Homo-oligomer: A and B are copies of this chain.
Amino acid sequence: MADNGTARATTAVRVLDLLRASGTLSRVELAERSELTPATITNAVRRLIDAGLVREVGRDPQQGRGQPRRLLELVASAWYAVGIQIDRTTTTIVVLDFAGTRVASAGLRGSGATGPEQTVHALAEHLGALLRRADVPRSRVLGVGLVTHGPQDRERGMLLTAQPGPEWMEYPLTGTLEGLIGLPVLLENDATAAAFGECWAGGLPTDTFGLVYMGSGIGGGVVVEGEVYRGRASNAVEIGHVALNGGEAPCVCGNRGCAQAEAGPEAVVAKVLADPDLAERLGVRGAPDGTLADFERIARAWRAGDPEATGLLERSARWIGQAAVALVNLFDLDTVVLAGPAFVISGQLYREHVAAELERSALSRVLRRPSVLVSSNVDIAAATGGALHVLRTLPMSSPGRGPWAPARAAAEAWPIPNTEGAT
């Protein structure tokens, strides 16, 4: 029955999640951490071992009296998943094994200068080459998490915005890529994917946090007890379009004073370009798809002690701090993670200023000292999250349910049938 199958798939997902996060666990530990009964765990583990997804790897030496508990781990080579993040200025591809370990990655130029058709064809080609180089058989790849800025229509696999150009609006991104690579493709928001990746692979001290994502633009993500907040149609958390107190700059969204318009890499680069001497001194060029490269030059100048670069980045960081205050006040959070390629060099500067703003202004500051961390996968967090989303979602999608038609095909091929009769 569907009911029973869903419950079984959920149990399997919880077991796989726990093993992915912890490396090895005994059945007793799995029961404790999942709050499921030992009988349910034993049954689920048996099915996962039979399916070749989990294996026993020895006994727990820490234990006291009695038979030592057998330890379990994921079979890393059972399946793979791909995460592809496309941005106006960069493309990142990662391949994860079933245990969530990165087995290959590639960084390429962004989609800013090419239309969607050309971009998707290039992605298919690069992905094929990367899988061959990494010796990952395509038949063992569950699918691709395609990660872009929003707003998106995830069900139809399309962008609902004319960024970076009008031809991207409602272009069938996932459908076209699926046709080229023969694998299911799930569309995901970049900041949401980064939050997801940070939660499941970032080694954070908490599973409840907000994330500020800074690529060419600024996005946000929120995870509460390990689950990503999605809102009505997965187009949360648009922190780049929070109007800042005192902000004036016109924004692509039509408003003024948005965080992205005041503090985003493009705004910082524009301020440098407005002063030709400064631009020359910092090596900032203003190429249309070079925003992140230019921003990195400014960040390097900050690190070398340039006072003007420092002033510009500090101003940006204080604005981001104000946006982070709105994030923690509205979502009731005490941890903020900074992720995205713009933080690769400047992460520490932003961390300090965002923390200072939160300590000065967050409503909960009197209850709990807010904590700000730079992602441990700062530049590939989003692509990693896209791949992890595939690992956690695709295999267990119940046929006939859920938003993605392609997921159904994968679910039907999945070695654990989830439409069996009740036991």
A residues in contact (CB < 8 Å) with B: 1-4, 7, 35-37, 39-40, 151, 160, 208, 220, 224, 229-239, 241-247, 253-257, 322, 325-327, 329-334, 361, 363-364, 367
Chain B residues lying within 8 Å of A37, measured Cβ to Cβ, are 1-4
Whether B3 contacts A231 by the Cβ 8 Å rule is no
Given contacts A40-B3, A330-B239, contact A363 B245 (CB under 8 A): no
B243 touching A331, Cβ below 8 Å:
no
Q: Are B367 and A160 in contact (CB under 8 A)?
A: yes
- Which residue of B is nearest A365, CB measured? B254
Other-chain contact of A236, B151, B238, B331 (Cβ < 8 Å): B331
Contact B241 A363 (CB under 8 A): yes
Q: List 19 A-B contacts (CB under 8 A).
A: A3-B37, A151-B367, A160-B367, A220-B330, A224-B230, A224-B231, A224-B232, A230-B332, A231-B331, A232-B332, A233-B332, A237-B332, A238-B363, A242-B329, A242-B330, A243-B326, A245-B246, A245-B256, A327-B330
Q: How far is the CA of A244 from the CA of B322 in the complex (A)?
A: 11
The answer to whether A238 and B151 touch (CB under 8 A), given A243-B245, A247-B245, A361-B255, is: no
Q: Knowing that A151-B364, A243-B245 are A-B contacts, what are 10 other residue pairs whose CB atoms are under 8 Å apart, sorted by A's residue number?
A: A3-B35, A3-B40, A231-B331, A235-B363, A243-B244, A245-B246, A245-B256, A246-B246, A326-B326, A330-B330
Min CB distance A206 to B, Å, is: 9
Q: Which residues of B lie under 8 Å from residue A253 when comparing CB positions?
A: 363
CB pair A322 B243 closer than 8 Å: yes
A325 CA to B326 CA, complexed, in Å? 12
- List, in ascending order, chain B residues with CB within 8 A of A232's CB: 208, 224, 332-334
Candidates B35, B40, B329; contact of A241 at CB < 8 Å: B329
When chains A and B are docked, how far (Å) is the Cα of A329 from the Cα of B3? 35
User: Which residues of chain B are within 8 angstroms of A220 by Cβ–Cβ distance?
Assistant: 330
CA gap between A364 and B367 in the complex, in Å? 34
What are the nearest 9 A-B pairs in CB distance?
Answer: A231-B332, A236-B332, A243-B245, A235-B332, A238-B329, A3-B37, A1-B37, A245-B257, A208-B232
**Whole-angstrom distance between the Cβ of A201 and the nearest chain B Cβ:** 21
Contact between chains at A330 and B332 (CB < 8 Å): no
Residue of B nearest to A257 (CB): B245
A40 to B160, CA, bound (A): 40
Known: A208-B232, A224-B232, A230-B224. A3 touches B330 (CB 8 A): no
Cross-chain contact of A237 among B151, B246, B256, B330 (Cβ < 8 A): B330
* Complex-state Cα separation, A254 to B326, whole angstroms: 14
Q: How far apart sit A35 and B97, CA to CA, in the bound complex (Å)?
A: 34
Q: Do residues B238 and A330 form an inter-chain contact, with CB atoms below 8 A?
A: yes
